[in-house]
């Protein structure tokens, strides 16, 4: 069954507080609150730079694309990381550990 909504009927996404909210936050949640992931994450990933071989597996699997490439390793953008732990689970080299979130 095809959608009856026409493209011209779609309302463009505009964050309520565009100066405070990262572009890739969920637009629905952004309309309701300006909370950032660090305010509610239970755990955060920590990359062991000695173990990381830059295979990019974590980058491939992260559902919110918050893995960032550094010169010698891949790191986490904690501004948007949801703390789901998928990167730690999928890293074939055991380079990512989930640690308790202790705030920003």
The CA distance from 67 to 88, in Å, is 12
Specify the stretch interacting with ligand SF4 by CB under 6 A; choose among 2-10, 15-23, 24-32, 60-68: 60-68
State yes or no: residue 25 binds ligand SF4 (CB under 6 A): no
CB 62 to ligand SF4: min, Å: 3
- Whether 42 and 82 have beta carbons less than 8 Å apart is answered as no
Among 53, 68, 72, 99, binds ligand SF4 (CB under 6 A): 53
State yes or no: residue 62 binds ligand SF4 (CB under 6 A): yes
State yes or no: residue 29 binds ligand SF4 (CB under 6 A): no
State yes or no: residue 85 binds ligand SF4 (CB under 6 A): yes
The nearer residue to ligand SF4, 16 or 72, going by C-beta atoms, is 72
The CA distance from 26 to 39, in Å, is 15
Among 46, 64, 97, 101, binds ligand SF4 (CB under 6 A): 64
């Amino acid at each position: 069954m095809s959608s009856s909504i026409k493209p011209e009927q779609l309302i463009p996404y505009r964050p309520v507080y565009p100066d405070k909210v990262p572009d890739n936050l969920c637009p629905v949640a952004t309309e309701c609150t300006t909370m950032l992931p660090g305010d509610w994450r239970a755990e955060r990933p920590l990359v062991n730079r000695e173990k990381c071989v830059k295979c990019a597996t974590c980058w491939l699997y992260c559902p919110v694309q918050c893995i960032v490439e550094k010169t010698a390793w891949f790191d986490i953008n904690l501004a948007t990381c949801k703390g789901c732990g998928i990167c730690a689970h999928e890293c074939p080299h055991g380079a990512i550990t989930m640690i308790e979130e202790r705030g920003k």
